[in-house]
Copies of this chain bind each other. A is one copy, B any other.
Amino acid sequence: MTTDYRFLKACRREQVDCTPVWMMRQAGRYLEEYRALRAQHSFLEMCRTPELAAEVTIQPLRRFELDAAIIFADILLPLPGMGIDLEFAQGEGPVIGNPVRSAADIDALRPLTPERDVPFLAEAIKMVRREIEGKVPLIGFSGAPFTLAAYVIEGGGSRNYVHTKRLMYGDPPAWHRFMEKMSDVVSVYLAYQIEAGAQVVQLFDSWVGTLGPADYREYVLPYSQRVIESIGGAVPVIHFGTDTATLLTSMKEAGGDVIGVDWRMDLGEAWALLGDDVGVQGNMDPVILYAPPEVIEAKVQAVLDGAAGRAGHIFNLGHGILPTTPVEHAKVMIDAVHRLSTR
């Protein structure tokens, strides 16, 4: 039964009865039941307590007909084990106390030992698998080497990535050494999740769209490729980024069974560019969920029209669902995907 999930079939580009759908950040602040738990625990505490992580992973499945669960975690969770001080400041997102700026900083980073550094994650994955077995598959994930490196170098989010690019352009040997370390950490981290029971993994290269195609190929592609090759086909890989209209074919070259596309590109054009030998995930603008239901349904139809019924489409938002999204609008979207795509 578990191999027959609609979601996994789409990952393998097999025919499905209707298009599978999930939402990035579907376990999150737009749900009042999530906010109620979050009021009692810090974000990292929730990630590191298997019972809490499992509970919020499952919350959205109680409300919506989602086709996959994604383990509750953060793309930056591999970092503390490397010796990086990670905190989540109130309303400000991740803050890194000891940003990496020099070759010496890079050399001081430790490899990840998942059993020591992220044992809670394997436990949470196992708990969720037991609860959802036979219903939907479970996605594991990590930040991709570039996106992790950018956070670690900048010390948090960034607009222009000045420190990151300064290292990349100014000291390429240090950059490449850093990215090698990051690739190894991400590979080990994903393998650990797969071993624990993740049935698909998504590699989030969320901020790679700050680079042009030549820089992507020189400074990023080999490392994302190394991570994806390390998985060796054990489970399907979704390779995701935003702002990647000019990077898509290079991202495909780096690897992935399914390439994530954001809303800035027409889905049909993206797929034409990528070719039919890969799946596509996306690509509705998360902000459309603030629009009236009839607009949401029209936009769902437009995305499905772009996919044109091809095998290998996974419906998703182009980026994570926003915290102030009306929850009933998420349901409108999810139900519309299934209804409007029924073969």
Contacts and interface: CB of A to CB of B under 8 A. Distances in A.
A147 to B, nearest CB: 16
A88 interface: no
Given A209-B264, A213-B266, A162 B290 contact: yes
Nearest to A161: B287
Interface stretch (A36-44, A165-173, A331-339): A165-173
Interface in A208-255: 209-215, 243, 245-246
Contacts of A120: none
A169 to B, nearest CB: 4
The number of times this chain is found in the oligomer is: 2
A212 B287 contact: no
Interface in A270-297: 285-288, 290-292, 295
Interface of A: 160-162, 165-166, 169-170, 209-215, 243, 245-246, 263-266, 269, 285-288, 290-292, 295, 302, 322, 324
A243 B215 CA distance: 16
B287 A160 contact: yes
A322 B266 CA distance: 32
Contacts of A324: 162
A300 to B, nearest CB: 13
25 contacts: A160-B286, A160-B287, A160-B322, A162-B287, A162-B290, A162-B324, A165-B288, A165-B290, A165-B291, A166-B290, A166-B291, A169-B290, A169-B291, A169-B292, A170-B291, A170-B292, A170-B295, A211-B264, A212-B263, A212-B285, A243-B243, A243-B264, A245-B246, A245-B265, A246-B266
